[in-house]
Amino acid sequence: APAFAEKFGLGRPALPEEVAAWNVDVAPDGTGLPAGSGSVEDGEWLFSENCAVCHGEFAEGVDNWPKLAGGDDTLDHDDPLKTVGSYWPYLSTVWDYVHRSMPFGGAQTLEPDEVYAIVAYILYSNYIVEDDFVLSNENFLDVVMPNADGFIIDDRAETEYPQFSQQPCMTDCKESVQITMRAAVLDVTPEEVTENEAEAAAELKAAADAQDT
């Protein structure tokens, strides 16, 4: 039993400064949030400086980089657009993730007040707050995320396992079989490039380049 488990006396006590340096996660109830605040106005400037090159000036996303705003009411569509505004259930996650892991390639460079400001701007970009909003550790839990109630705990045990645990058919299971979709028609698989193919491609490209000029 765990209560009587043997101890080995390995490791050493963690110092408070060490725990403070690494223990920076923020839970949905606000546990872990440092004191501080930041405005939409400051956030707009900080976002433009640190984030917009990938995520767009309005958090709408550049190229294939993640969109942080938009997609309201698309979750039951064919191609749902999942953003902070349309999908994320908790504001704590936005604060925690931006603080710890963004900007991409320059993580852990933002001070708490800067993170509050950037998060405030992301909320504004999603029309969740007004442009004069100031986010702080005091009013953090007042913000209501649109998709807060959009998640259920894994229910496969009820919705899938009973029906997928029946004796399977072994013989004469169906009358006919038709091919309904083919990957080769879509043709998006990377080719296996052999030396000959690479040479041939290079020759073709050289010929095409010659024609262009």
Judged by CB under 8 A, the residue of 130, 144, 171, 213 near another protein is 171
- Rule CB under 8 A: say whether 182 interacts with another protein: yes
Q: How many CB atoms lie within 10 A of CB 59?
A: 24
Site for another protein in 128-147 (CB under 8 A): none
**Is it true that the peptide bond before 80 is cis, omega within 30 degrees of 0?**
no
Q: From the list 17, 132, 142, 181, which residue makes contact with another protein (rule: CB under 8 A)?
A: 181
Q: Are 83 and 68 in contact (CB under 8 A)?
A: yes
**Sole binder of another protein in the list 90, 116, 124, 140 (CB under 8 A):** 90
Rounded Cα distance, 28 and 147, in Å:
14
The span from the CA of 30 to the CA of 14, in Å, is: 24
Q: Binding string, 185-204, against another protein, x = CB under 8 A?
A: -x-xxx-x-x-x--------
Contact 91, 140 (CB under 8 A): yes
Site string for another protein, 61-80 (x = CB under 8 A): --xxxx--------xx-xxx
Please report whether residue 163 would count as binding another protein according to CB under 8 A: yes
d(CA 144, CA 128): 8
User: Contact region for another protein (CB under 8 A) — 45-53, 117-125, 128-136, 167-175?
Assistant: 167-175
Type of residue at 107: A
Among 82, 134, 136, 146, binds another protein (CB under 8 A): 82
Please count the residues of this chain forming the interface with another protein, following the rule CB under 8 A: 82
Nearest CA among 143, 109, 142 for reference residue 126 = 143
40: tokens are 């939409």
**Residue among 20 and 206 whose Cβ is closer to another protein:** 20
The rounded radius of gyration (Å) of the Cα atoms in the chain is 26
Residues in 91-130 at the binding interface with another protein, rule: CB under 8 A:
92-93, 96-97, 100-101, 104-105, 107-108
Site for another protein, residues 36 to 65, rule: CB under 8 A: 63-65
Q: Residue 92 has which token pair?
A: 């704590």
Q: Interface with another protein includes 17 (CB under 8 A)?
A: no
Binding another protein (rule: CB under 8 A), the pick from 17, 142, 165, 210 is 165
Q: Which residue has the tokens 């209560």?
A: 3
